[in-house]
Structure 1
């Protein structure tokens, strides 16, 4: 098991922002969530601004519906794993036990296999080239 990287925590937030979760700053009585998560195959400027605000805050903040602060998740004591219920990223202590409730516990219509799952930025041309290569490999093997 390895600790959560900064990129994994960023991806964790991106997934949950797509499902409408906010990052809460309790001391400031503020909550933030970018409306636009992606721009092409990158994170949007609005998302990056939220991320920088989270990284450079002088107060603890946490994802709505969780008990761990983002600052804790960025420490070596935490890792990001896939939820066994909905397959989205959730925090877990290193060598510990996952929280009994997934971050999705308060989403009445989740998991929903009829909708696309939240994702991270993807380069569609790279993805299409990989699919094309897999199809070509399959044809050659038949």
Structure 2
């Protein structure tokens, strides 16, 4: 009986070691996966920031327009500092372009914070022009 008990104890010890190595392997795999994902995200953020002055412009969907306001034109222009899009916005019925600019908070310039997927800040400035409001949006200027 002593020898059978010895083999059972050896089997249990081997199982404990196997499980321990299994958990070590899972932990190492998790660390490697997290490191790869972090490196990919850092690369994406780097690329987005490099492209901020190379023709990349924000989409119209980022503008905080109230109900009833309508984008009637969109023009992208590039200069030596980067590219920007000018959105021509028709205010809601009964609202002036100046009141629309004040409502969305762009009278002194507006910085729209980025998201997890696109962490760049979007800078928006406004120019009332008759019955419309021109909103200029880009990634490269700032209001500081």
On whether the aligned pair clears a TM of 0.5, the verdict is no
Query: Hey, which of these two has a bigger chunk of strand by percent?
Result: 2
Q: TM-score, normalised by structure 2?
A: 0.20
Q: TM-score, normalised by structure 1?
A: 0.20
Larger radius of gyration: 2
